Structure 1
Amino acid sequence: MPAGGRPTVRSRRLGTALRQYRHAAKLDQPQAAEIIASSQARVSRLESGHVTARVIEVRLLLDAYGVSDREVRSKLEELAKHSKKRGWWLEHAAHLRPDYLDHIALEDDATHIRDWQPVLVPGLLQTSAYAEAVTTEGPNRVSSERITQLVKIRESRQARIEEGGATYTAIVWEAVIAHPLVDVEVHREQLSAILEAGTRKNVTIQVLPFKAGLLAATTSAFSTFSFDSEPTVEAVTLENLRGASVLEDPEDLAAYANTYDLLRSSALAPEASARLIRSALRTIKEDTS
């Protein structure tokens, strides 16, 4: 059973894929159960992610479903092998919401991560001072001890990007750059950090300008995740007051992929975005000198 007695992101992803391939092969759960010499109840729990499929079960099912693509088979076998693998974030499981753990797990597995943020600097780009400020001033009452823990967890999340483990693209609304929501010095340090991050080969940062109009209000902050060499969106997380929601339905994924493409095409190019951020930095320095 997945760690903690609840479906993990990995076991859910595997189960969703197996269900989709079964439907495509026009087989029902009792037929799938016969293939792996098990019960319909097990197939149901495999597809919901409540139990982890063994590699041999994945191979037998994919054979029966006519899935011959080596890359697909390899990816699903890897999910079966690692669905119960303990990630670094599980050390903090007792103190974090399950939906936040899911978000971190998606980041850790992803090959492509994309963020849209109309209000705050994305978490994967936040400095420690900025992260502490927004956590302290946020709507949820958090103890100083917990703030320190959350900031450290955010720093650990950033390691995947800093080490080049995933391709990362962030789009932020111009208001995030131009209108500080934190102390000016913290904001200035944060803008410098964004510029530095943008020089990494695996990082792209774009600013959606004010002239884009209502586009910035079409959706709240969200992140998309891809797990292959191609940046096909395979999971989306939405931020809300109490945490994050994970979307995996194909129609939802298509809608958010299209929305992100629209935001990206309306945003300034990376070079122009960097110029805008440098200009904001100069303005801050002039106002505080």
Structure 2
Amino acid sequence: MVNPTIQRRRLGLALKRARERAGKTQDEAAVVIDAAASKISRIELGQSGIKLTDLGLLLDLYGVRNDEAESLRELARAGRQRGRWSSYRNAVPDWFRQYLDLEGDASEIRWYQPEVIPGILQIEPYIRAMNATAHARSATEDTDRQVTVRLERQSILRDTGPELGFILSESALRRNIGDPDIMRSQLMHLAEVGKQANVTIQVYPFGAQTYETASFNFIILRFGEDSSSDVIYVETFTDADYLDRPDAVRAYTRLWDRLRAAALGPVESRRLILRMAGDLKRQQT
């Protein structure tokens, strides 16, 4: 199935490159289609579709012709379809549905998480315990749909899925979500998933001998071998930022590399996770 979000991102990136190649500004492009410069920005970020008539005007402005122009028209048509997650509109906000589409088509995902277990690594009891705390007044139906979304996302954990790298702060593993039995099951699940060939889990321990750290989570998404299409996803309480500027991508990639170097290796990390799970089991006896 063609992912419309990915097609919009590909179109936006291609239009941005064509505009810059033509020496045009976003303001100049906006005048041509009788829109605000922010509209051009949303199109180039893949956050908004574009009418074919407006696309034709931009292609003329940028001097894009023949096969290249037709290829961009095809991307625009594909980008107007509904995404896979559109049926979850009530349970998932717009800004996060875009991430879900990107996550599903990424060839490589690098995920740094300092406070809780990443969503695609969570078991159902852990998800429900988190929801019970964060959304105490949420309807049961909404909670069920949110759980369904999170569990469906875990299909990318299959062996033929993307390359997945996780760096988890030790605090994310020690923060009690639910009862000790839930936490022990969650930790055992992490240890099991970490054995997969395409999954690497590293723990950033309290005793790391470095000052390098980040108090916020971020995700680096890559699509194929072309790093110029990398996206950095940084989530806030009510919104998210999708960063694709080369300088931002380079900065976050360097941060990831430093965090990975400071974290325990995969084997040491798995031993620590299993040791924590064993400690929880002994506490229950």
Matched, 1:277 2:277: no
Equivalent residues of 2:159, 2:198 under 8 A apart:
no
My pick for the range that moved more, 248-257 or 224-233, is 224-233
Matched, 1:237 2:241: no
Q: Which residue of 2 aligns with 1:51?
A: 49
Residues 84-123 of structure 1 mapped to structure 2, 5 A cutoff = 84-123=80-119
Q: Which residue of 2 aligns with 1:125?
A: 121
Q: Which residue of 2 aligns with 1:146?
A: 142
CA deviations on 1:10-54 (whole Å, 9 max, x unpaired) are 424521332134313535689999xxxxx5559x86774243487
261 and 30 in structure 1: CA distance in 2 versus 1, 3 angstrom threshold = closer
Which secondary structure state, in structure 2, belongs to the residue aligned with residue 96 of structure 1?
coil
Q: What RMSD, in angstroms, separates the aligned Cα atoms of the two structures?
A: 3.7
Equivalent residues of 2:105, 2:223 under 8 A apart:
yes
Q: Which runs of 5+ in 2 are unaligned?
A: none
Shift of 1:199: 1.3
Distance 2:131 2:227 in 1: 31
Equivalent residues of 1:30, 1:40 under 8 A apart:
no
Q: Which residue of 2 aligns with 1:259?
A: 255
TM-score (norm 2): 0.79
Residues 118-197 of structure 1 mapped to structure 2, 5 A cutoff = 118-138=114-134, 141-162=137-158, 164-197=160-193
Equivalent residues of 1:205, 1:273 under 8 A apart:
yes
Which secondary structure state, in structure 1, belongs to the residue aligned with residue 86 of structure 2?
helix
Task: Give the fraction of aligned pairs with identical amino acids, expressed as a percent.
Answer: 30
2:23 pairs with one of 2, 22, 26: 26
Shift of 1:248: 2.6
Equivalent residues of 1:9, 1:102 under 8 A apart:
no
Which secondary structure state, in structure 2, belongs to the residue aligned with residue 119 of structure 1?
coil
Distance 1:29 1:100 in 2: 26
Distance 1:233 1:273 in 2: 31
Shift of 1:96: 2.1
116 and 30 in structure 1: CA distance in 2 versus 1, 3 angstrom threshold = closer
Q: Which residue of 2 aligns with 1:82?
A: 78
Which secondary structure state, in structure 1, belongs to the residue aligned with residue 203 of structure 2?
strand
46 and 185 in structure 1: CA distance in 2 versus 1, 3 angstrom threshold = same
Count of residues paired in the alignment: 272
CA deviations on 1:245-284 (whole Å, 9 max, x unpaired) are 3223332222222211111111111111111111111111
My pick for the range that moved more, 255-264 or 175-184, is 175-184
Distance 1:86 1:131 in 2: 27
Which secondary structure state, in structure 2, belongs to the residue aligned with residue 215 of structure 1?
coil
Matched, 1:207 2:203: yes
Which secondary structure state, in structure 2, belongs to the residue aligned with residue 180 of structure 1?
coil
179 and 95 in structure 1: CA distance in 2 versus 1, 3 angstrom threshold = closer
Distance 2:113 2:196 in 1: 20
Distance 2:23 2:144 in 1: 52
Equivalent residues of 1:224, 1:233 under 8 A apart:
no
Equivalent residues of 2:166, 2:200 under 8 A apart:
yes
Matched, 1:219 2:207: no
Q: Which residue of 2 aligns with 1:4?
A: none
77 and 276 in structure 1: CA distance in 2 versus 1, 3 angstrom threshold = farther
Distance 2:24 2:236 in 1: 38
